[in-house]
Amino acid sequence: MKNIVYVTGNYGKYRSVKKYFEMNDLDIDFYKYDLDEPDVNDIEFISRMKAKEAYDLLQRPCFVADSGFYIDDFPNNPGYPGAFVKRSGVSSNIEKLLDDMKNVVNRACHFLDCLTFFDGDNYYTFYGKSEGELAMEKRGVHNSDAKSNLWYLFIPKNCSKTLAEMTEEERFNRQDGHTSATEEFINWYKNEYLHKKTLIKK
């Protein structure tokens, strides 16, 4: 059976996901492609539409992963930017985000990850969440594993460092109560999906 394919235009996301697969003795292929994003503030809908587009492009089982970023008390727009994190320019212009938030006391925010696997017949969607707060300034160093420039600003719950300030080990072992869409997917794929496929072949 062919490996499943991770379709994304973000190589940092692929590197991060690939590590989880390697830890579980699973292989994936990488296809670099920027998929279209429907203009709706619904992370699950966006994820499923992109998974369908990816499958139509490759004609192979594949998955996509998207992240929303939600700021509780963003001025005049609570929960902004949500699923519009990329299109809003928030992740590419974190200096403007810091300026917008300079007088905001409550800096609580969270990432919501949504991963969708499509095998040509069914959609399977998994979620992950990481809560924290925005730093007052950009902190950390460049990291090729970074999924977003927001790593320079996001301080996970119960932590004092931004994601960009942490070592790989610190990020992996942080005790912030976060859940991982990638881990949920791999657990299901390895223990249910592949097992079912094996039984069908027998």
Task: Write down the architecture of domain 4-201 according to CATH.
Answer: Alpha-Beta Complex (3.90)
pLDDT of residue 73: 98
Structure confidence by residue, pLDDT tens digits, 181-193? 999 999 999 988 8
The dihedrals phi and psi of 68, each to the nearest 5 degrees, come to -105, 155
**Cα separation of 33 and 160, whole Å?**
35
Q: What is the pLDDT of residues 36-92, one digit of tens each?
A: 988 999 999 999 999 999 999 999 999 999 999 999 999 999 999 999 998 898 989
> Regarding predicted confidence, which is higher, 148 or 105?
105
**Is residue 200 over pLDDT 60?**
no
Question: Are the C-beta atoms of 102 and 153 separated by less than 8 Å?
Answer: no
Which helix (H) or strand (E) segment is 19 a member of? helix 11-23
pTM of the model: 0.86
Query: Which residues, 6 or more positions from 163, have their beta carbon under 8 angstroms from its beta carbon?
Result: 140, 146, 151, 152, 154, 156, 171
Averaged pLDDT of the chain: 91
Task: Read off the tokens for 79.
Answer: 């929960």
**Using one digit for the tens of pLDDT, what is the confidence trace for 111-143?**
999 999 999 999 999 999 999 999 999 999 887
**Is the CB of residue 109 less than 8 Å from the CB of residue 95?**
no
Q: How confident is the model at residue 172 (pLDDT cuts 50, 70, 90)?
A: confident
The reported pLDDT for the residue numbered 202 is: 45
Confidence of residue 2 (pLDDT cuts 50, 70, 90): low
Domain ranges of the chain: 4-201
